[in-house]
Amino acid sequence: MSRIALITGATSGIGHAIAEAFAALEYPLILCGRRPDRLEEVRQTLGRRTRVHTLQFDVRDRAAVEQALAGLPDDLKAVDILVNNAGNAHGLAPIQEGDVDDWDAMLDGNVKGLLYVTKAISPGMVEKGSGHIVNISSIAGKQTYANGTVYCASKAAVEALSEGMRLDLTPYGIKVSNVAPGAVETEFSMVRFKGDESRAAKVYEGFTPLTAKDIADAVVYIVTAPPHVTISDITLLAGAQASATSINRK
Ligand code: NDP
Ligand code: 8X3
């Protein structure tokens, strides 16, 4: 069955891998992000396999989110699958040294951005009595680690939002799934460390991290489960990882 899927943060990492996996299923795709060159690249590449519509907006910008999603072409308005993936960590510092701009970026993007997009899309799902929302949380939403307090808090909020959204939306035939990855090698650490390649590389040293495709494979499993099955919450850790902070490095 061909379902319309909207993915935020589809210009790199996990969101891009989910877009690739959904393109292989020939789902019509609405792919979102801020970087226009990346959006164009993904439109051209995945456009060979399925219909791709791209939207450029910052999820923190409420008016931009509303305007972009209200302007979807009529035949793409009835979104069946929403993947709330856009987000990042910014900085790694104890609370007393944290940068307030980093905190704003994480709370506005990872939490409020997810809400703005959900607010624009979920009423259509309620109206048609079906849909699936997949929220990309993190192991950091389940286990708080030192120096990551605000990122962890933003992802703990995603965990609560997934739970609450499931309570609110299940009566309308809408599934809500929460996906909590551990260490996945993407652009995540480059963003967290503001382009410091050596710091970013150290995060994945001495073990085999998850790939974005590993997470996409789980998301495919989640959205293709039969109607009587909801995968409510799934945590994926790297093979060498036992918790957010315990990684067996060689
Ligand atoms: P990447 O940095 O590779 O991808 C982040 C994506 O989010 C990009 O497509 C980026 O697009 C988009 N994005 C970020 N901020 C905004 C914004 N304000 N507005 C619109 N789009 C935005 O990292 P990942 O793929 O790893 O991250 C994806 C999600 O997975 C995030 O929510 C992250 O917290 C979560 N996660 C990541 C883990 C990891 O170890 N990598 C583990 C657990 C969870 P653009 O810059 O073009 O806007
Ligand atoms: C990303 C995983 O453990 O670096 O959410 O916070 S972690």
232 assigned to some structural domain: yes
Q: Residue 214 — φ and ψ, nearest 5°?
A: -60, -40
Distance 50 CA to ligand 1 centre (A): 23
94 assigned to some structural domain: yes
171 assigned to some structural domain: yes
76 assigned to some structural domain: yes
Strand partners, 175: 132
Could you confirm whether 204 is annotated as catalytic? Answer: no
> Could you read off the pLDDT of 53-83 as tens digits, one per residue?
999 999 999 999 999 999 999 999 999 999 9
Average pLDDT over the chain, rounded to an integer: 98
Ligand 2 mutation pick, 106, 135, 139, max ligand atoms within 8 A of CB: 139
Question: What is the tally of structural domains in the chain?
Answer: 1
72 assigned to some structural domain: yes
245 assigned to some structural domain: no
Q: Provide mean pLDDT across the span 199-216.
A: 98
Checking if the pLDDT of 96 tops 90, the result is yes
The model's pTM is 0.99
Give residue 34's pLDDT: 98
Checking if the pLDDT of 1 tops 70, the result is no
Cα distances (angstroms) measured from residue 152 to each of 87, 130, 137: 12, 31, 10
Residues 6+ apart with CB under 8 A from 204: 183, 185, 189
Checking if the pLDDT of 92 tops 70, the result is yes
Q: Provide mean pLDDT across the span 22-48.
A: 98
* Protein residue with least CA distance to atom 4, ligand 2: 183
206 assigned to some structural domain: yes
> What CATH number corresponds to the domain at position 67?
3.40.50.720
Q: Could you list the residue range(s) of the whole structural domain that residue 144 is in?
A: 5-236
Checking if the pLDDT of 104 tops 80, the result is yes
